[in-house]
Amino acid sequence: MGDPNLWTEILRANDLASITDVRPGMELVIPATQVAAANRALRQALQAIRRATEEGARLFAAEQIEASLRLYEEGVARRKAGDWDTAASLAGDATTAALAALETATAQRDAAAEARLSDRTGSVEGRRPQDLAWSDRPLGAMLIEEEKVRTLSLSSAQITFRDDSRLRLSANSQAVIQRMRVDPLGRKEEAKVSLVEGDFYALLSGRSERRSFELEVPEARTDIESRNFWVRRDASGAKFTNYDDRTLDVAANGAAVTLGRNEGTLVRTGQAPSGKIGVLSATRLTAPADDGETPSPDVELSWAPLADADGYWLELAVDPAFQRLAASRWGLKDEHFWTDPLPVGTYYWRVAGLDKFGLPGERSTVWRFHVRVDRTPPFLSIGEPAEGAILRSDAIRVEGEIEPGARLSLNGTVVEVGADGRFATSATATRLGENVLTLVATDAAGNLTERTRSFRYEPDARAILRFDDAIPRLGPGRFVTGGDVISLAGATDVGTRLLVRAADGAVRATTHADDTGRFALNLPLAAAEEAFTVEVVQPSGFSSREQFAVVQKRDPPAITLEEPPPAVTAVERLPLRGRAEGARSLTMNGRPARLIGYAFDEAVTLHQGENTLELVATDIVGNVRVERFEVGLDQNPPELVGYRVTPFQARAGEPVWIEVTARDASGLRKAAPFRLRVGDKEIADFLELGTGGAYHASLPLPAGAAGRVRLLEVEVEDYVGNKARFTPDK
């Protein structure tokens, strides 16, 4: 079908969604007839457009020839889209429009003496004799006598005369069309152009019968027979180069020089022309290849270095006659140039070397290239390994086929591909279990097709089985639980199956490892201690075994204290020492207590009044033992409620009755020392505690003791050591 990128059209013609749907033995419909018809119609349209252009259609039938070109380009686009019938129809319309343009151009060639702005890039301005200011000149503008034309930076303009002779003004140039005359009966024409500044390239038509083309350059006179020459005017003077076998005569300041083919001369300001200067020979273009294709709109043009070249002049056009430029760059220093993004189409280019005088040398051979932006990703098919394959070896063979000419990478590494697009290479499994191969095909346009292929690497090796550290255990491989079921979890190889068997061989529980290798199961228990075997079966069928045991523990830890805490105390800090046998953790009033082995040594700060002490011991499987104690803190001394001494006046030998009443939260001690004064004698003794918190004493007075009775001091003490000394009479 003439285009390697049309393989998608074969899929479409056969209602296939992907290249992978194609199978050996399948009959395929090839839309060759429609393709051939569309191509034939497009070729005929292009021939008609070229013929009309050669007869001056761009000048005298511009709208018709542009319409023909537009229809042709639309037809090319529809061809690339696979719409063959529409492409052929548009090509026929383009042929019709081109033939109409040809007829119009033929009829009007001799109808006007104007020239036409047939091509422009950048900014191009004109100024007619009656105009006061410069104004923009659109493409196709008609130019008259005495009209000035100028180009600005990075701009160019092509002036085409009625006989298809052309002047190409480069950037920053200005010229005046001084005279244009036509004799329709004698078919003779005359033209005179004045170059004010800058440069232009002249290509005069060989079909015209004009007698001469006059060129006016300040300080120089010319006599032109040449049909192909270049001239430049700047502050230093003028420069001329002839590329034709016909001569170009240049005279100035009393001297003259005749330039033959590929010869140039310099006319310095106020001086005679220099001798003939041979221009540089043509350079050789290197890339892109002549008539080659590029899938990218950004194209790098390159050429061979030219000895003695001080720079290069590159011209890029959309037609072989260089009447429509896409770019013109003067003074390039490097032997390559990147274009701006170019639309899809065919382009022509040439390069000339610039010598040290700035004279352009011979132009290179014209090459052409085709921009065909390819947005269709290349096809890529993987034959081996099969999707989801289970492989025993870590060395993996990878085979398949891609679009010929495309590049291929496997997990980022470049793979060598045969001329027919087939490839065969090897890879290495990077991990046990699931592995993924990523293949990327990249065509010359940078389009990507990515395919992945998954497989499992399961070597015949013992699987690693790890139970989580959080599972309670009494030792290696000896788990413990407080219930009739134990929950086990851990990690092993991805996709592995686990079977837990009791001592009699019966399967007690089963599970599978997930895609991360994790597993979990609940194992019912039938005895206080059981031995189990877990069978680990890999996806490949290879199995291994591990043993473990499970112990049921139901009794909570036992808490014993070295000394029981007192019911009441006057000391705020109460030490508690003891053991919590079998405990993993211990808390005292909700605060973690430190265990050394099973021993603990803690202290509790009491507050005034009753204090509840709670010890909670928890073993490895969660069995709990709670012990509570009540301890009172009493730091207040006893309180005197009242007292009584009788009689108030005592006689010698008469007994004295003393009663003191006190109270205390922790209880009073049985005896309370006191001091009594009778008259001038002082007596000390002890009161004895009776019921109701009252102390009593009946004291017989010694001989000589008589008079007033006063209770000087009583000291009362509670059971935790708090004392209060009272002086009632004071």
CA dist., res. 44 & res. 66, Å (int): 16
CB count, 10 Å around CB of 149? 27
For residue range 628-661, what is the model confidence (pLDDT) as tens digits? 999 998 888 999 888 999 998 888 878 999 999 9
CA dist., res. 595 & res. 585, Å (int): 7
Find residue 697's DSSP bridge partners.
658
Q: Which two tokens stand for residue 666?
A: 């922790």
**Average pLDDT, stretch 163-171?**
85
Measured CA distances, 681 to 150, 445, 703 (Å): 147, 131, 10
**CA 92 to chain centroid:** 49
Topology given in CATH for the domain delimited by 639-726: Immunoglobulin-like (2.60.40)
pTM for this prediction: 0.45
CA dist., res. 319 & res. 350, Å (int): 12
CA dist., res. 210 & res. 300, Å (int): 41
Cis, bond preceding 638 (omega within 30 deg of 0)? no
Per 3-state DSSP, what percentage of the chain is helix, strand, and coil (rounded to 5)?
10, 50, 40
For residue range 564-577, what is the model confidence (pLDDT) as tens digits? 999 898 888 999 99
Backbone angles phi, psi at 509, to 5 degrees: -160, 150
The identity of residue 403, as a single letter, is: E
For residue range 27-65, what is the model confidence (pLDDT) as tens digits? 998 888 888 888 888 889 889 888 888 777 777 788 888
DSSP 668: B
- For residue 181, pLDDT beyond 70: no
Domain residue limits, the chain: 31-108, 115-278, 285-371, 380-457, 466-552, 558-633, 639-726
For the ranges 337-341, 347-351, 389-393, 419-423, the lowest mean pLDDT is seen at 389-393
Same fold, 115-278 and 466-552: no
Q: Which class is 558-633 in CATH?
A: mainly beta
- For residue 487, pLDDT beyond 80: yes
Specify the CATH superfamily of domain 285-371.
Immunoglobulins (2.60.40.10)
Contacts of 522 (CB under 8 A, 6+ apart): 485, 486, 487, 488, 509
For the ranges 176-190, 198-212, 492-506, 534-548, the lowest mean pLDDT is seen at 176-190
CB count, 10 Å around CB of 677? 17
Sheet bearing 473-475, strands edge to edge:
473-475, 478-481, 543-552, 529-537, 497-501, 507-512
Q: How far apart are the first and last CA of the chain?
A: 134
Under CATH, which architecture does the 380-457 domain have? Answer: Sandwich (2.60)
Counts for the chain of helices (H) and strands (E), in that order: 5, 59
CATH code of the domain occupying 466-552: 2.60.40.10
Q: Which class is 115-278 in CATH?
A: mainly beta
